[in-house]
Amino acid sequence: MGHRQYLLELFISSNVLAFLLALAEAQSWSNLNVWHVLEYILYINWILLAFAAFQDLFAKRLAQYTYLSVMIFSFILLQVIVMCTTLVLNIVHYWAVHFSLQNISTSDISHNLILHLSYGILLGAFCLRYMYIREQAVLQQHSELNARVQAMQARIHPHFLFNSLNSVVSLIAIDPDKAEQMLIDLSKLFRASFQELKLVTLKEEIQLSKQYIAIEQIRLGERLNVEWNIPQPGLLEYVQIPLLTLQPLIENSIFYGVENQMKDAKIGILVEILQNQVNIVITNPFLQDRIKVRQGHGIALENVKQRLKAHFGDSVYFRNYAGNGLFTMVIQYQYKNR
């Protein structure tokens, strides 16, 4: 879920809650006052939006604590916001009526404080329940995503490992140095594939992809040509991307764009960084009679798309299309500076 969607859900829920509280106080539809409803809406929306802002501010610090500790902190934070808001509103209301604060008393300042704190308990129960349901939904999405990624890895690894080991065996007698380098690249690639699929720098991801390409170039020889276009290489270490994002896309291009070609084939990879947006374009040749087969093997592409969305939300744009003998994959997403 994106941050804007979270705020929208909170806004709608808080308005419903404000209306119910106003109706409960009025005790009937005929006694319901529109201005009183608006007061409740403004009051509760202010409290919940302030609560959401503080939660976002403390998010990184709270991430290291247990879920129960976060819930307790959130409940206390909400009560503090309710208390401070009530006290400030009472002072402002007194000044608006008397144009002076000289004779203000403690009872004037704390007017309706107990009532509003009871509302805060209700809001706390509402917010904590909402946060719990939302957290469970996010965990379920991540679990489903991890399951799909693991299924993709289990499908890809045996095929790639079998081809790579065959190439190593054939190289041992001909070129042992090249066989040794291929095994080193292969071990690095598999070490990365067995790691948690976390965020890495774009520089690290490109280096890993180049090691994969080096393995495939040994196997495919001159048939495989890869052209990298990186206009701003100095920015790569400041941009993040999920580990093993490029590799399955490049593997897809090699499998469909090179292995099926009888002649030499070129894969083009553009990695462009414009302000806070990353543009990645991968092109490869394709055979017209193989296009239906390609469309039936979109598992790797869908997994990459879902992993990017899990980290970068709705800013992710993912598209692929074919034309003029080229198959093109376009990936765009917005990143935050490290």
Given pLDDT bands bounded at 50, 70 and 90, which one contains residue 332?
Answer: very high
What residue ranges define each of the domains in the chain, with the CATH number in brackets?
1-152 (no CATH), 156-332 (3.30.565.10)
Q: Render pLDDT for 114-124 as a digit per residue (tens, 0 to 9).
A: 877 887 787 77
Rounded CA-CA distance 22/184 in Å is 69
Taking only the tens place, the pLDDT of each residue in 74-110 is 888 888 888 888 888 889 888 888 888 878 888 888 8
Q: Answer with the residue of higher pLDDT: 228 or 221.
A: 228
202-225 confidence digits (pLDDT tens): 999 999 899 889 888 888 888 899
For residue 2, pLDDT beyond 60: no
Checking if the pLDDT of 276 tops 80, the result is yes
pLDDT score at 45:
82
Q: Using one digit for the tens of pLDDT, what is the confidence trace for 167-191? A: 777 777 777 887 787 788 777 777 7
- Per mean pLDDT, which range of 1-10, 56-65, 160-169, 303-312 is the poorest? 1-10
Is the pLDDT reported for residue 293 higher than 50? no
Angle (CA) 235 236 239, round 5°: 90
pLDDT for 160:
63
Checking if the pLDDT of 3 tops 60, the result is no
